[in-house]
Amino acid sequence: MKEELFVSGRNIPNIDPFLNIWHWEIPVYLYLGGISAGIMFFAGLFTVLGKEKEMPTTVKWSTFLVPVALVLGLFALFLDLKHQLFFWRLYTTIRIESPMSWGAWTLMFITPLSMVWAASYIKELIPGWKWKLGILDTIEDLVIKTRKPLAWAMMALAIVLGVYTGILLSAFNARPLWNTSILGPLFLVSGLSTGLAAIIWMSKSHFERTVLTKIDIVLIGVELFLIIHLFMGFLAGSAVKIEAAELFLGGEFTTAFWGFVVILGLIIPVILEILELIGFKIPIWIPSILVLIGGLIFRFIMVEAGQITRFLY
């Protein structure tokens, strides 16, 4: 019989309680990054498809949210840093192997791009708008002329950003819950879906909402499929992976995850969306807000739970 009587283990009062070094800042950062990726991807997609007229909220109005979300996200990341004066060090090197590094660089490109994209529609939003500086008019002309290539760039960068929000976590092999390659696609799909939810909520056109709702139903389906895969992978894995899965299957995150993320954040909104397509009257903001809140809770849970899982020796 091998019974563990007493393990004093490690107990360093100033270190061990703070090894869970990531708090609310990182999930918020990942969440805002995901929504931005979603909005930019669909703005780019429907521009490339030439649907600016039919889908004005997707292509134009919702993109005003993106720079705000990205700047807030970057600010959250900044708050997470413990040695903030050296923030600029992020931009003195590019380290391909470090997700944190290429995430910071992606944001460096995508934030200005989202700003000029939204700004190029400001004259349509506010009739009579005048730029104070001549140079801004030149930039605006340039953006309008190169709209299609920019839309492609935006789609590509949005996918990189969306996948990055998952890879930031999945790159850590020391945290078994995160260390699965499904996290990249899962966070991407979840980001796209939350982005869509935001657009659907803003949209006033019935046609646009119907198109987007159909896409969202597919995305939520894919997300559920990936979540099932995630747990299948864990349960077929090594001891540390099974332990990670057990946090969600009877452990402390069970109710939060299955209740708030899966049922309230995915299954109920998808049912409501289907009912709406069939013709029932559903207030448009209900499924949207459920998806948005579910996505936020999902990221909080993943960041929090991942830091509990570790190798035992």
Partner 1 sequence: MRYGMAIDTAKCVGCGDCVVACQTENNVPNGYCRDWVVENVNGSYPNVEIELRSERCNHCENSPCVRCCPTGASHIVKGGIIMVTHNECIGCGACIESCPYDARYSHPEGYVDKCTFCQHRLEKGQNTACVEVCPTTCLHFGDLEDPYSDVSLALKNRTWKVLAPEAGTKPQLFFLT
Minimum Å gap between C-beta 177 and partner 1 is 11
Q: Please give the structure tokens belonging to residue 18.
A: 């703070």
Q: What is the DSSP string of 39-64?
A: HHHHHHHHHHTT-TTT-HHHHTGGGG
Q: Which one, of 197, 186, 175, 172, lies nearest residue 306 by Cα?
A: 175
Q: Tell me if 17 contacts partner 1 by CB under 8 A.
A: no
Minimum Å gap between C-beta 230 and partner 1 is 19
Binding partner 1 (rule: CB under 8 A), the pick from 45, 69, 90, 155 is 90
Over the range 216-254, which residues count as b (16 or more CB within 10 Å of their CB) and which as e? bbebbebbeebbeebeeebeebeebbebbbbbbeeeebe
Stretch that binds partner 1, among 49-57, 120-128, 153-161, 165-173 (CB under 8 A): 165-173
Binding partner 1 (rule: CB under 8 A), the pick from 17, 53, 93, 133 is 93
Binding partner 1 (rule: CB under 8 A), the pick from 9, 128, 134, 250 is 9
* HEC secondary structure over 122-185: HHHHCCCCCCCCHHHHHHHHHHHHCHHHHHHHHHHHHHHHHHHHHHHHHCCCCCCCCCCCCHHH
Cα separation of 60 and 125, whole Å? 9
Q: Tell me if 59 contacts partner 1 by CB under 8 A.
A: no
Binding partner 1 (rule: CB under 8 A), the pick from 51, 147, 229, 310 is 310
Cα separation of 102 and 160, whole Å? 10
CB closer to partner 1 out of 11 and 255:
11
What are φ and ψ of residue 98, in 5° steps?
Answer: -100, 115
Q: Which one, of 48, 61, 47, 23, lies nearest residue 202 by Cα?
A: 61
Q: Tell me if 255 contacts partner 1 by CB under 8 A.
A: no
Q: Tell me if 177 contacts partner 1 by CB under 8 A.
A: no
Cα separation of 137 and 140, whole Å? 5
Between CA 13 and CA 23, with CA 19 as vertex, the angle to 5 degrees is: 120
**Amino acid making up residue 299:** R
Cα separation of 136 and 132, whole Å? 8
Q: Tell me if 73 contacts partner 1 by CB under 8 A.
A: no
CB closer to partner 1 out of 280 and 313:
313
Stretch that binds partner 1, among 76-84, 135-143, 147-155, 292-300 (CB under 8 A): 76-84
Rg of the chain's alpha carbons, rounded to an integer? 21
- Enumerate residues 191-250 that contact partner 1 by CB under 8 A: 238, 240
Q: Please give the structure tokens belonging to residue 298.
A: 């999902």
Stretch that binds partner 1, among 139-147, 218-226, 292-300, 304-312 (CB under 8 A): 304-312
Neighbours of 10 (CB within 10 A): 8
Binding partner 1 (rule: CB under 8 A), the pick from 17, 53, 92, 250 is 92
Minimum Å gap between C-beta 15 and partner 1 is 4
Q: Tell me if 87 contacts partner 1 by CB under 8 A.
A: yes
Q: Tell me if 16 contacts partner 1 by CB under 8 A.
A: yes
- Enumerate residues 18-37 that contact partner 1 by CB under 8 A: 18-19, 21-22
Q: Tell me if 1 contacts partner 1 by CB under 8 A.
A: yes
Stretch that binds partner 1, among 3-11, 33-41, 193-201, 275-283 (CB under 8 A): 3-11
Instruction: Enumerate binding residues for partner 1 (CB under 8 A).
Output: 1-10, 12-16, 18-19, 21-22, 80-87, 89-90, 92-93, 95, 97-101, 104, 171-175, 238, 240, 307, 310-313
